[in-house]
Amino acid sequence: MSVKSQDIDLNKDLLLYAVTDSSWLEFSENCDSDGNKVRVRRDTPLTLPLSCELAIKGGVTMIQLRNKEFGTGISNRDRHEALEIRDICRKYSVPFVIDDDVELAYETGADGVHLGLDDTDLTEARRILGDSAIIGATAHNVEEAKAAEAAGADYLGCGAVFPTATKAVKNRLTYEELSRITANVKIPVVAIAGITADNVMQLKGSGIAGAATISGIFAAADIEKEAIRFKTVLEQMI
C-alpha cells in the first residue's frame, strides 16, 4: 500500500525532503580552520539505506532516491537498494519517491516519482504509476509551475534557490519568483538546491511547504543530529 493512499498531507510531508547522494557515504563535510568547507573521510562508511534511516530518525519527512545513472539501466543492486529504502520509509510512514525513473518506481512499489523537465512525460508517468502515486515535477518559473500543475503534478520542486555543488546553476530562482510560483499554484511547493539549516530562513514568507536538500542532511558528520536541527528551523519558519 502506498503512503499516498493512506491520505497523507503533502503540505506536511514535504517539510524536510531529503534527496540521496551516494558521494556522501564515505565522506562528511566540515569546516577547516579558515572556515572553508572540506571533505573528511568518515570513520565508518555508511550505506544509502542506513543514511536514510538516520535522516528519518532525525525528522526527515520524505525521501527521494536519486541516482543519475538509473537511466542507463537498472541493476540488481539498484533494485535491491531501492527496495531496502522503501521498506525503511514504510517502517516510519515516510513517503518514498524515486528521481526520474518511472520504471524503477513501478517495479519497486515506491510511493511515486519526481520528474525533471527532460524526464518522462508527467501524463505518461501517471498512466504507469496510477492515480495513487505521488508525482512531483521540477519548475523554474510560474509558467512551468502552472503547466506541471495542469498536467497533474502533486507537488513542485522549485529552484535553484542557492548555489549547489551537485549541479551547475545557470540561473538562480529569486525569492520573488519563488513567491510568485507559490501564489499561482494550488499544489504545495518545495524549494530546492543548496539549502541548509543555516540559510533556509532566507526563504521565510515565500509560501513554500518545505525544503529539499542533499548535502544539508547527508553531508553531515552526524546525519540524525543535523536532521533534528534542520527540522527545528523549518518548524519555526513554516
Q: Is the pLDDT of residue 22 over 70?
A: yes
CATH number of 8-237: 3.20.20.70
Average pLDDT, the chain: 93
Q: Is the pLDDT of residue 28 over 90?
A: yes
pLDDT at residue 1, rounded to an integer:
42
In the block, residue with C-alpha cell 503540505? 11
Model pTM?
Answer: 0.93
DSSP tag of 173: P
**CA distances for 53 relative to 58, 106, 131, 190, 199, angstroms:** 9, 22, 28, 21, 24
